[in-house]
Amino acid sequence: MRNLSMLALVLTGLAAPLAVAAESKVEISSPKDGARLDAMEQNKLVYNITPGGAGDHMHVYVDGKETALLRQMKGSHTLETLAPGKHEICIKIVNKNHTPIGVERCIKVTAE
Amino acid sequence: MDWQNLAYAVTQIAHNFGAVAVVGGAACALAWRETEAQRRLAWLVLAGWLVQAVSGAAFGAISYYYYAKFPDIHGIAVAALRVKVICAALGFILAARLLFAHLPELPRRYSWFVLCGLGVLALSSAAVLRWFS
């Protein structure tokens, strides 16, 4: 019985780090993918990030060009004025060395 | 054990001690004017700049090894990185010149001032590179 308890304790200890290390995830709640935006307005990017073990902060890209660095895991960011036309907006999680860890979310919008 | 973080941490340790060597070595050389002491400090500063260059490159190499990508930096951060690279190249050349060119007193003193300035500039650029991307 004591051996079983010890085994359970060891297994719990091994499993704990796995449970703590949440999976990296990027959610963009606004604008929605495919949304039409007013080119004359300042549009806000509303996001929620789970950085996971390797992630540290995020880079924002508009049409492949980095436009901002985000350190808050949840919040909103005012985008630069978008020229009329189609655009791709991406948030990439990066590590402390500014290297993308491969977790990102991109949306396509049209500014009118 | 997280090997990726360990690799970054070991590289950071080398980079930090390299920074101490280039700034501290040059500052000490301005205070201690004995030829033998300055010669030893020149070796220290030369080694420091070499460590700075190798460990700086190692940061990029570690990123490439784990993610097949280099750090994604633009604008101000790229400018700061360029300043660091130029400082390392000039610092290495100047320290080597101090060691092997047998300069007279005055040019030697000017060289130490420049080396000290390069160290301060490189460290300041490192802070910009850390917080901008």
Question: Are B3 and A54 spatial neighbours (Cβ–Cβ below 8 Å)?
Answer: no
Contacts of B62 in chain A (CB under 8 A): 97
Q: Rounded to two decimals, what is the model's pTM?
A: 0.83
Whether B70 and A99 lie within 8 Å, measured CB to CB: yes
Q: What number is the average pLDDT over the span A4-27?
A: 57
Q: How far is A68 from chain B (nearest CA, A)?
A: 8
Tell me what pLDDT residue A4 has. Answer: 53
User: What CA–CA distance (Å, rounded) separates A87 from A62?
Assistant: 7
Question: Are A89 and A106 spatial neighbours (Cβ–Cβ below 8 Å)?
Answer: yes
pLDDT tops 50 at residue A13: no
In the beta sheet, which residues pair with residue A45? A77
User: For chain A, what are the domain ranges?
Assistant: 22-111
Whether B133 and A98 lie within 8 Å, measured CB to CB: yes
Whether B71 and A98 lie within 8 Å, measured CB to CB: yes
User: What CA–CA distance (Å, rounded) separates B29 from B34?
Assistant: 9
User: What CA–CA distance (Å, rounded) separates B122 from B114?
Assistant: 12
Contacts of B73 in chain A (CB under 8 A): 98
Mean pLDDT of chain B: 96
Question: Are A43 and A78 spatial neighbours (Cβ–Cβ below 8 Å)?
Answer: yes
Q: How far is B104 from chain A (nearest CA, A)?
A: 43
Q: What number is the average pLDDT over the span B32-37?
A: 92
Question: Are B53 and B22 spatial neighbours (Cβ–Cβ below 8 Å)?
Answer: no
Which CATH number describes the domain made up of A22-111?
Answer: 2.60.40.10
The answer to whether residue B61 neighbours chain A at the CB level (below 8 Å) is: no
Three-class secondary structure of residue B68 per DSSP: coil
User: What CA–CA distance (Å, rounded) separates B36 from A43?
Assistant: 64
Confidence band for B40, pLDDT divided at 50, 70 and 90? very high
Three-class secondary structure of residue B30 per DSSP: helix
Mean pLDDT of chain A: 86
Ranking A22-26, A88-92, B36-40, B68-72 by mean pLDDT, the lowest is: A22-26
Tell me what pLDDT residue A41 has. Answer: 86
Tell me what pLDDT residue A5 has. Answer: 56
Tell me what pLDDT residue B109 has. Answer: 96
pLDDT tens string B49-81: 999 999 999 999 999 999 999 999 999 999 999
The answer to whether residue B74 neighbours chain A at the CB level (below 8 Å) is: yes
User: What CA–CA distance (Å, rounded) separates B68 from A101?
Assistant: 10
User: What CA–CA distance (Å, rounded) separates B111 from B104?
Assistant: 11
User: If you measure CA to CA, which chain B residue comes closest to A101?
Assistant: B67
Contacts of A60 in chain B (CB under 8 A): none
User: What CA–CA distance (Å, rounded) separates B54 from B49?
Assistant: 9
Higher pLDDT, B50 or A40: B50
**How large is the ipTM?**
0.84
User: What CA–CA distance (Å, rounded) separates B57 from B80?
Assistant: 15
Hey, which residues 11-40 in chain B have their CB within 8 Å of chain A?
Answer: none
